Structures are given as structure tokens and as C-alpha cells.
Chain A
Amino acid sequence: MNEEALLARASEERERIFQRYERGRENLAGQIDPWEDPEFEEYHKTDRYGFIHDERLPQKTAPQKINIEVEREKKWVKMLATWDSPTTKEKLHRRIYKGIPNSLRIKIWCKLLDVNRIKSDNPGKYHEMLRLAKQWSTDVRQIDSDVNRQFREHQFYRERYSEKQCSLFNVLCAYSMYNSEVGYCQGMSGLAGVLLMYMDEEDAFWALAVLLSDRKYLMHGLYIEGFPKLTRFLEHHDRILTKFMPKLKVHFDKFGLDAILYSLKWFFVVFVERVPFSLCLRVWDIYLLDGERVVTAMAYTILKLHKKAIMKLNDMDLIVNYIQVKLHKDFGFEDDIVIYHLERSMDELRRAKLDYPGPPPPNELPKRQLGMFVEPDKKSKIGQRAENFSETEKQTRATVILRREKAAMELQELRVSQSDTVSDHSGVAANVRCDDSVSALGSRRSLADTSVTSTADLSVFSSGRSHAPENSLDTHSNVSDDGTGSGIGGLSIQRAPSTAHSTPRATPHPPSVSPLSDDIVRIHVTYNPLAASPSHLHPSPAKYKSYSDEHHKPISLGFYTSNGASNLSSDNRIRIQVPSEELLTPVVDSGRIITQRYIESQDMYDLK
């Protein structure tokens, strides 16, 4: 076919698809394939959010819960009437974390997203975009095929060309014109689909627009080509894992499970179809209030709450299935409990300065003015794919490949060191219990759980006005931190309980990452790249809870490999700094910050 014919075919297809949605279900009688309409026995099976289930629902919402919700509704109605008042602003946080009553969700979501303002600032825009889409949008085929597959088990979307299906189609087509850099990306139908469960068509369009381009959410960077925001947030997610749940991270690494493989939908559609819908709505409530930090914190919370269970799963398919399927069907914790932990996670991450990976770089921001018509080029009109990757895409590809290769390497190292550990210290490693369980679930690592072998040659000295006995580290040890196989430690630290650090969070200090500050201890470690490479000295996670033994309160140690300035050449030496506050400390290699992490004192061992 020549170009003209291809163009004609594409525009004919677009018009045909559009027409069907314009006519809608009533006017398409006899023209909808019977299999396009799933038959559901609706009675008893539609839940309060409108989802239809294959089986009868186990139970109705408990009556006392309904009562609570009725009480809440009254308060919310009052708040809505005085939305802009300072008292409302003050109460909003607490009320929203308690959950927005389902009947008022539509109003409150619109308020939180300030839908009315953006709508009245842009009169007629939505319909203009929809008109343009009908004539120009190059995403119509993809949108059509996704509308056909989105939330079909929900009563609104169950019937082909139902009113809401048509709205969904329209919102996505109009948006593809409004934001021509994003156009349409798979995943957006999930977002718009949820919004349309609560809003009418035009409000949903503006709500979607706010989610993509407002600074608080900025999903634009998630959906544009190359997904730059996804890679950035995943790296941050990895950082959080490394710091707070290193064992879990090692466990994932062991099965080659990159975060992208299990968490993509968390970021793209804010947990839709990854957690039960009732919980998902609660997370959305909070997301709309507090923005992108919530996604990061919820990702952390999910893993935190399920860490124990996941650690028991010894194959990738079991882990992925657990995280993606099982947790969607049954999260295992009541929504209120999860939200309680979510709020705590947010505090915890904020304290560790890990709540936010930083402001968006320019490539995550819209470059073209939104709502400006840009005629698509011929290739995209025909639906032809670009022959080459764009620069951003190349970058993403490179990142993805790098992540993959790094994971493969780490995996190999792990396997090698694992077999080392087993053969070298089998007698010792066996009784080391792995327990870096989360603060939320409560755990401690007692001294008795730790065994120490002396394989590394470590010498210790402190510098500055050192407080010798308290801060000295005695470290001729090789602790395998985990009998189950992640025992890759070539080094561990022994440290006497220190009164100076017994209340680490009581007296905040500015972050001290200078290697020249007080309390510096240098440890010389026999370097074995496989068994003791710094990246594998996984610290245990931070603990924010009380310990039974006052003496074993956590402190943290900054961890450095020595850099050029420290007069240790191509060496096997590692410098450990003991800051006086539990603060993030970068691991520095040859003057370059590699990663930021803690060494925590649960890995602190008694001086005998």
C-alpha cells in the first residue's frame, strides 16, 4: 500500500471506532459480538464499589462500620462546606488518613485535585480536545483496545459501549490531544477508569490532567517515552530497600527479581489491581492529598508488612505471584492497619530523608504547552513505528540493560559467596539466624543470634578526639548475617554499647558525612571482592522501636571505603564513621558517592 492509501485506511479506522462510541450501546443493537459482553449474575455479587465477583461475596460490611461511616459523613459534609477554612486544612490530614466516606469521595477528590478551578480556567477546552481527537488522534486504536479490556468486571464497564466505556474512550482520546507528548500510554486507562467510577466525563478529564502535570503528582514523567520518572523512582525504591530491608533486597537479587518486575503497576496506576480495591481507594485518598511521596511509602509499606512471608518464598514465580496476585485478592491486613503503617512509613522515610527522590529533572516535565494542537507526523498517523529509538528511550534501554546486568553479576557473586560461606563456616553460619524483620512487625536481633568468626584481618584505630572505649570498634570478625544463604559479610563490627548514642533520635544533629569529623574509626579489611565487597556489606534495617535491653539501642555508623585523600592507596581498607545521629551516610568510592546507606547497630556485637 502506498502512503496515501495507508493514511486513508488509518483515518477510516479512526472514524469507524469513534462512531461506535458515539452511537453507544443502545444504538448498536445487533452489532456487538455476543462474546464482547460477559454475562454476570449480578445479584449478591456486586460489591459496594461496583465490582462484580465470580462468587458470592463472603460478607457484608459490618454494621458498626457502616455506622462509623455515617458519623464520618456528617463531619465531612461540614468540612466540605468550609473547605478553605484553616480548621478544615488542619483536620484534613487526619480525616483523610481515616478514610473518605465512599459517598463523598467524588466531591472530595474533586476538591483535592482542584478540578473545578482548572475546568473553569479552561472553558470549552475539553470538547475542543475531543473534537480534535476525532480528527487527528493517532492513539484511537490502542485506546479502543484498552477500553475493551479495562475493568470489565465492574458494572460500569461490563457492557461493551456502555455509557462509562464511552466516557473512558472520550477522556483518553481527548487527553491524547491535550498532552501530545504523552498521547496515550497503556496504564492511563486504569487511572481514568478509576476516576470515572466517581466523576463525570469532563471532571475525570481534568482530574487526569492534574495527575499528569501538577507538580504534586507529575505522572507525566511516568508515561512519556522512556519512562524517566519510573527509572528514577525505582532507583529510589532500591535505595530504601537496601537501607531498611537489606535481607529482602538480597532475597530479591538472589532470584534476579528487579524491582521493575514486581512494582511497575504500583507506580503507574497507584496500586490499582495490585491491592484490594477498598485499600486502593484509601491509598488514592492519601495520594491525592500528599502526592507522589505516598507511592514510594506505600511500596515500602507493602514489602515491610509482607517481608516475612516473602522471605519464605524460594522462587521468583512464588514471589511475583505473591506480590502481584495474592496481595490483590487478599492483602492479609485490614485496610485501617495498612494505612496506619503507611503513615508510619512516611514518617520513617522522612526522618531518613528518603521520602522523596528529589525534584523532577527537566526531562520529566511537559515541554510543550498543554492543550495546544500539534499535528501528528505522517508516521504516527499511519501507525508506523519509529525506526529508531529516541534519545530518552536509548537511555532507558541502557539503564534497563545495566540494571539487568548488575543484577546478574550480583547474583553470581551471591552464589559464589554463598558457597564460600557454607564451606568455610558451615558450623558457625548455621546458627546465625536471619532476622532483619521490620520495625512494623517488631523484631530484634539479640546478641546470642550472632556468631562471629575471625577471618578478616582488621585493625582498628580511632582518630580525632576519640572517645576510645565507647566508640572503638573491634572488628576481627566475619559474620555471616544469614544462615539461609545471604551470608556475604566479610566484615562485621563490634562495638560497645555507648551512652553517647543511646538515644539516637532525641538530639538531632545536622548530617555529618565528613570523613574528618570525630569518631572516625578505620578498619582494615582483607579484601576479597566476592566475599567482602562493600556493596555487599548489607546493613540491617533501621529499627524504630524499643529494645528490651537499654544498652543495645541502635546507633548508626557511616560506612566508607577509603578514598584517595585518605592516604590509603588501591587498598582493602574501609573507613567507618560513627556519626552522633542516625543519619544517612554516603558510601564513597574513590571520592564518588556510590550509595547512601546505614550501618545499624543491631549488627553491633558485644565486646567480650
Chain B
Amino acid sequence: MATNRTGGAQRPNGAPQTKVCQFKLVLLGESAVGKSSLVLRFVKGQFHEYQESTIGAAFLTQTVCLDDTTVKFEIWDTAGQERYHSLAPMYYRGAQAAIVVYDITNQDTFGRAKNWVKELQRQASPSIVIALAGNKSDLAAKRMVEFEEAQAYADENGLLFMETSAKTAMNVNDIFLAIANKLPKSESGGGAGGAGGARRLADGDTPRASSCCK
């Protein structure tokens, strides 16, 4: 059953005018490691043990407030089954951030995560911010991937790294916030192909924050 959010990410309730930046973030990783659960925890503050398996991908958004900036994440939660791998570029192309997820109780999923990191380094925008999440940290008793091993790998590859639990909410908001902090908040800060920097919030009719991302 759903449990309520235990706080963390602030929503911009009645916040004074701040810069608003929009980032595209993609979640990658083996099936059943908890990608959808992490997103659900972050976006709705809930956890479902029987979270539906993802077909293709799911899309959600969440907004977090940093000191002077509001960051809106457009989150693509992808399907983990290998068969769906060929669709992945559809989701990670143009993404400014990625969370690669593995399950700490399953060594294979860590190997799979490494492959995702490699693929992102080769194929995604060069300035993409990648975070590695070792999920299901509440199941530490069944741990198969050591914290140090993953930390060392993350350091080598310049990744953000945290062990998370969608179930207990541990580090869930934190990992998104860490990404938000690391993302360049200026339009010029981007990488190739216009994929790097923040996009100003919604073109067209959505009101623009006047001082956005300058």
C-alpha cells in the first residue's frame, strides 16, 4: 500500500519569482530494480509494492526548488527488459540528466548499470549528468553489491552516487536534488546539439519566468 511521502523535496508552493529551468531526465536500468518506484516516490511520495511493470516508458514531472532556482524535471521512466533497449535512444537523446539504477541485492543488475553508463557516455549528450542509484538499500541483509565497489566505480566515471530505497524514501529526493544542483542553470552551459543546458520553461503560452536561466 501507499505510504506517504516523508518529506524532502520542496514544491514551489507560492514561492516568490525565481528562475525556472526545465530538465529532461531519464531513468535506465534492468527490469525490476525499482526505477518506476523511485520516480513514484519522488513525484508522488508513494510506494507501491505492486508497481506496474513499465511498457515502453512512462513520463512524469516534478519540480524542486533550489536556492534561487526552480527546477522542473521531465522524467522518462523506461522499461527495463532487454527487448526495449533499442527504443532507449528515444528517451535519452536530448536528456540533460540520467539516473542509472541497479538493485543492491542483485549483482547482475550492477553489471547492467555499467553498460548503461557506457552507452550514455558514448551516445548521449556529452554534458549529461549521470547519477548511479543502488536501490533497495532497505534490503541490506540480502546485499550482493558492496557500497565501496559501486562508489569506486562512480568516482572513476565521474558519476553521482547514492544508495537509495524507494520503499523507505531514503536518499530518493536527495539524489534528484544532487542532480539538480549539478546541472548547469544557464542556457549557454549546454553541450552539443542544444541538449546540454536547461530549456526555458515551456515555450508558447505558459507564462515565462522573466529572469529565467540567465
Contacts and interface: CB of A to CB of B under 8 A. Distances in A.
A149 B50 contact: yes
A148 B202 CA distance: 38
Interface stretch (B10-18, B88-96, B156-164): B88-96
A397 B58 CA distance: 19
Contact of A260 (B56, B108, B115, B194): B56
Interface in A180-217: 185-187, 189-190
A530 to B, nearest CB: 16
Interface in B26-54: 31-32, 49-54
Nearest to B47: A35
Contacts of B205: 314, 484
A186 B81 contact: yes
B94 A408 contact: yes
Contacts of B79: 186
Contacts of A314: 202, 204-206
Contact of B55 (A187, A386, A396): A187
Given A185-B83, A315-B202, A316-B74, A401 B93 contact: yes
A225 B206 contact: no
A186 B76 CA distance: 17
Contacts, number: 110
A408 to B, nearest CB: 7
For the residues of A in contact with B, the DSSP-based class is: helix
Contact of A225 (B50, B74, B83): B83
Interface string A308-348: 00000011110011001000000000000000000000000
Interface string A151-188: 01000000000000000000000000000000001110
A397 B86 contact: yes
Interface in B44-84: 49-61, 74, 79, 81-84
A485 B81 CA distance: 39
A148 B49 CA distance: 9
B85 interface: yes
Contacts of B74: 316-317
B1 interface: yes
A152 B50 CA distance: 7
Contacts of A320: 59
Nearest to A145: B32
B203 interface: yes
Contacts of A442: none
A226 B31 CA distance: 18
A268 B55 contact: yes
Interface residues on chain B, size class: 35 or more
Contacts of B112: 385
Contacts of A408: 94, 193-194
Contacts of A8: none
A146 B84 CA distance: 15
Contacts of B32: 145
B86 A142 contact: no
A383 B108 contact: yes
B51 A149 contact: yes
A297 B205 CA distance: 31
Given A145-B31, A258-B90, A401-B93, A265 B55 contact: yes
Contacts of A142: 31, 81
Nearest to A397: B86
A396 B87 contact: yes
Nearest to A183: B83
A264 B55 contact: yes
B53 A149 contact: yes
A38 B90 contact: no
A269 B55 CA distance: 9
Nearest to B51: A149
Nearest to A316: B74
A419 to B, nearest CB: 10
B58 to A, nearest CB: 8
Nearest to B62: A317
A393 B86 contact: yes
A45 interface: no
A400 B194 CA distance: 19
A401 B89 contact: yes
B93 A404 contact: yes
A38 B56 contact: no
Given A316-B74, A385-B82, A186 B89 contact: no
Contacts of B85: 389, 393
Given A145-B31, A145-B32, A261-B90, A254 B204 contact: yes
Contacts of B56: 260, 264-265, 268
Contact of B54 (A186, A258, A315, A403): A186
A261 B50 CA distance: 23
A38 B1 contact: yes
A227 B87 CA distance: 9
Nearest to A153: B50
Contacts of A404: 89-90, 93-94
A430 B178 CA distance: 44
A533 interface: no
Contacts of A445: none
A188 to B, nearest CB: 10
Q: Which 3 A-B pairs have the closest CB atoms?
A: A264-B56, A152-B50, A317-B61
Interface of B: 1, 31-32, 49-61, 74, 79, 81-87, 89-90, 93-94, 108, 112, 115, 193-194, 202-206
Given A149-B53, A314-B205, A317-B60, 20 more contacts: A35-B49, A39-B1, A142-B31, A145-B31, A145-B53, A149-B50, A152-B50, A186-B84, A187-B55, A227-B87, A261-B57, A261-B90, A264-B55, A265-B55, A316-B59, A383-B108, A396-B87, A404-B93, A408-B94, A415-B203
Interface of A: 35-36, 38-39, 142, 145-146, 148-150, 152, 185-187, 189-190, 223, 225-227, 254, 256, 258, 260-261, 264-265, 268-269, 273, 314-317, 320-321, 324, 383, 385-386, 389, 393-394, 396-397, 400-401, 403-405, 408, 415, 484-485
27 contacts: A38-B50, A142-B31, A146-B53, A148-B50, A152-B50, A186-B31, A186-B81, A186-B84, A226-B86, A254-B204, A256-B94, A258-B90, A260-B87, A260-B90, A268-B55, A269-B55, A315-B202, A317-B61, A317-B74, A321-B59, A324-B58, A385-B82, A400-B89, A400-B90, A404-B93, A404-B94, A484-B204
